């Protein structure tokens, strides 16, 4: 299982609204994530909107993102989430995830 960490930046004025959406993620979105290899998925956020995501997958970040890109529910979720993020440059949020290098892991 590969551990993946990534960052994105939520617009500071939309942080609370963003958090509210994640208190009630659509069941079909949760199912799609599980089916496409997103396991033990967590999001963490600093007070300035810097978002750190972590999940485990059998393959890698790109394969997991590609799997989700084929899910109809993902297109709807990404469209809804796009206004919350800084610097998307016309891309979907899941296309702008910047993977971090793992430098230490305590098993």
Question: Among all residues, which ones are annotated catalytic?
Answer: 22
Number of structural domains the chain divides into:
1
- Say if residue 104's pLDDT is above 80: yes
Q: Which domain holds residue 15?
A: 2-100
Residues in the chain: 107
Look at residue 54 and tell me if it is in a domain: yes
Does this model's pTM top 0.85?
yes
The enclosing domain of 32 has a CATH number of: 3.30.70.100
Q: Which residues contact 84 (CB under 8 A, 6 or more apart)?
A: 10, 11, 14, 17, 18, 93
Look at residue 107 and tell me if it is in a domain: no
**Mean pLDDT within 65-88:** 91
């Amino acid at each position: 299982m590969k551990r993946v960490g990534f960052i994105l930046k939520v617009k500071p004025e939309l942080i609370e609204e963003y958090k509210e959406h994640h208190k009630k993620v659509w069941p079909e979105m949760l199912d799609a994530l599980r089916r496409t290899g997103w396991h033990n998925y967590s999001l963490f956020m600093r007070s300035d909107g810097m978002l750190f995501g972590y999940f485990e997958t059998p393959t890698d970040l790109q394969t997991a993102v590609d799997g989700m890109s084929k899910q109809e529910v993902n297109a709807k979720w990404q469209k809804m989430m796009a206004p919350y993020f800084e610097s998307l440059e016309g891309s979907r949020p899941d296309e702008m995830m910047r993977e971090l290098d793992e430098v230490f892991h305590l098993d």
